[in-house]
A and B are shown apart, each in its own frame.
Chain A
Amino acid sequence: MEEYAREPCPWRIVDDCGGAFTMGAIGGGVFQAVKGFRNAPAGVGHRLRGSANAVRVRAPQIGGSFAVWGGLFSTIDCGLVRLRRKEDPWNSITSGALTGAILAARSGPLAMMGSAMMGGILLALIEGFGILLTRYTAQQFQNPVPFADDPSQLPPKDGGQQQQGAKGQFQ
């Protein structure tokens, strides 16, 4: 029940920032390790050293830019939740587009537009993946015979059968 008691929003920014940094550092580290290995001069020692050097130099940078993206995204998302007082997929998509636009602000309005489109589409894809995932997991736990009773909290109206146990069967 602890999850329900806590408001996720302001803390989620820190959470997302750190998660994005970790993701960028690890993924960028793997990528840069391969790249440094290929770009180094011949010889196993040189290649390993070049690989390690590339990881050392580039991986924190990539992690940092990921962290900036994640933190800004989450900040805008929380701001939208606060403003709209509603949580739905629109928040993510809008904040993805806004994040892209803000981070490209130094390259001019056209680049901002393109970046915003990219961010929005990316976040829409992620949202779609999330929706599909919930649907899939929902189908796994679905009862073979769906309940047909009305919940017991409602007053009986048409003299129908009112039974307990209708609650709690949501997925």
Chain B
Amino acid sequence: MAYTQILKALHRSLQHAATPYAVQTCKLTQVSLLIHTHRTLSTVSRPTLHRRAPSSVLPALSCFIESQRRRGISLAFTARNQSSPENRDKSVSRYQSGSPKPSAAQKVKDAGRDFTYLIVVLIGLGVTGGLLYVVFQELFSSSSPNKIYGKAFDKVKSHPEVIGAFGEPIKCYGETTRRGRRQQVSHLEYLKDGLKHMRLKFYIEGSEPGLKGTVHSESKENNETGKYEFRYIFVEIDTYPRRTIIVEDNR
């Protein structure tokens, strides 16, 4: 806070000193002096220019820059010189009168811009929240396909006949996508007799080379607890001696 106070005071005194100087040098158009004053002024006033509203210093500064670039009097320069004094006076009087008061149009413009940004931020937050909700529901809800897939795989994995057929460590995966991801398990939810049912299909592989199995399972929502219970789980061996291993059958 103290820093900004000092800067403000410095800026105000600088403004007093600089504006007559600016008028003078703009009229003079002496290149060497111009470059010199520009340099000193810009080095001193740069921090204040960043802190405070730059609109007050800018006409004077832009006048310098313009003249320095063109190195002479051109049409644009004179036009700028004609238009700038009232601007400069306004800005100076505004600074002398105290804190800057933005006009109504400026206020409306600022408010509109802030509102647009707010809407963009809110949309972003909404989309992010929605996606996170979907992910958390999928990962933690006990009735999500992903959880049931985990439970079904645990049952399949510990079934002795499956272990005997496929060999010990058994791994499971879902449908292969185009990019080599196999995380999505194909599932189908439907309603039968007023109860929610879910069918899952995923694949398992064991240590036996070239042996693949497809696991089908169906689970039914229990009316009292609201949890899904397996109706059946069976493994179908996809390679030639085709057979079916029934892991669970509670129909």
Contact = CB atoms under 8 A, between A and B. Distances in A.
Contact of A124 (B135, B146, B234, B251): B135
A28 B246 CA distance: 53
B66 interface: no
A1 B199 CA distance: 23
Interface stretch (A57-65, A107-115, A126-134): A126-134
Contact of A125 (B132, B176, B199, B232): B132
B134 A154 contact: no
A125 B180 contact: no
A103 B47 CA distance: 36
A154 B234 contact: yes
A117 to B, nearest CB: 13
Given A87-B172, A125-B128, A146-B190, A153 B183 contact: no
A91 to B, nearest CB: 7
Contacts of B232: 150, 154
Given A85-B170, A171-B188, A153 B153 contact: no
A140 interface: no
B192 interface: yes
Given A128-B132, A154-B232, A88 B186 contact: no
A93 to B, nearest CB: 8
A158 B231 CA distance: 13
Given A146-B190, A150-B251, A170-B201, A91 B183 contact: yes
A150 to B, nearest CB: 7
A37 B179 CA distance: 35
Nearest to B128: A125
Contact of A88 (B133, B146, B192): B146
Contact of A89 (B133, B139, B176, B249): B139
A85 to B, nearest CB: 4
Contacts of B176: 3-4, 8
Contacts of B146: 88-89
A46 to B, nearest CB: 15
B135, B150, B171, B181: most-surrounded residue (chain A CB, <10 A)? B135
Q: SS class of chain A's interface: helix, strand, loop or mixed?
A: helix
B180 A146 contact: no
B172 A148 contact: no
Nearest to B180: A8
Interface residues of A, number: 44
Contact of B135 (A86, A89, A157): A89
A31 interface: no
Contact of B149 (A81, A88, A151): A88
Contacts of A151: 216, 234
Nearest to B216: A151
Interface of B: 128, 130-135, 138-139, 146, 149-150, 153, 169-174, 176, 179-184, 186-188, 190-192, 199, 201, 212, 216, 218, 232, 234, 236, 244, 246, 249, 251
Interface of A: 3-4, 8-9, 11-12, 15-16, 19, 81, 85-93, 121, 124-125, 127-132, 134, 138, 142, 146-148, 150-151, 153-155, 157-158, 169-171
6 contacts: A87-B172, A127-B135, A130-B181, A132-B131, A153-B236, A171-B186
Given A86-B171, A131-B135, 17 more contacts: A4-B176, A4-B212, A8-B180, A12-B179, A87-B174, A87-B182, A90-B139, A92-B183, A132-B134, A146-B188, A146-B192, A148-B192, A151-B234, A153-B234, A153-B236, A154-B232, A154-B251
The 6 A-B residue pairs with the shortest CB-CB distance in the complex, in nearest-first order? A128-B131, A8-B180, A146-B190, A85-B171, A128-B135, A87-B173
